[in-house]
Amino acid sequence: MKKIEAIIRPFKLDEVKEALLEEGVKGLTITEVRGYGRQKGHTETYRGSEYRIEFIPKIKIEVVVDNSKAEKVIDAVLKAAKTGQVGDGKIFIYDVEDAVRIRTEESGKAAL
């Protein structure tokens, strides 16, 4: 199994969620996060005062899928989240040793 973590722009969440549903992803977790990458934040003006925003709001999406679905899920996220601009985000892929569904105590693929 693979855990796929995607850090994306907040306004792309609905598009990414729909793309994941089309690939058969049954569950996902999202977290509102803040951070920066190469863009290192940006400057905004509020009531005539300029200030620097160092940590940009992002959304982290986490899904765990069977190895056979991983590439399709990654491609779906790439297509749905990409704008072509700096700050589009990143995708991280981890190996998952096992998963257990608490309610039924099923493990492995059956727990997904």
Residue 51: per-residue pLDDT: 74
pTM as predicted: 0.85
Q: What is the mean pLDDT of the chain?
A: 91
Q: CA–CA separation, 60 vs 25, rounded Å?
A: 16
Per-residue H/E/C for 54-94: CCEEEEEEEEEECHHHHHHHHHHHHHHHCCCCCCCCEEEEE
**pLDDT tens digits along 21-72:** 999 998 999 999 998 887 776 677 777 777 777 888 999 999 999 999 999 9
Q: CA–CA separation, 88 vs 37, rounded Å?
A: 10
Q: CA–CA separation, 5 vs 110, rounded Å?
A: 21
Residue 42: per-residue pLDDT: 67
Delineate the domains of the chain, giving CATH numbers in brackets.
2-32+59-111 (3.30.70.120)
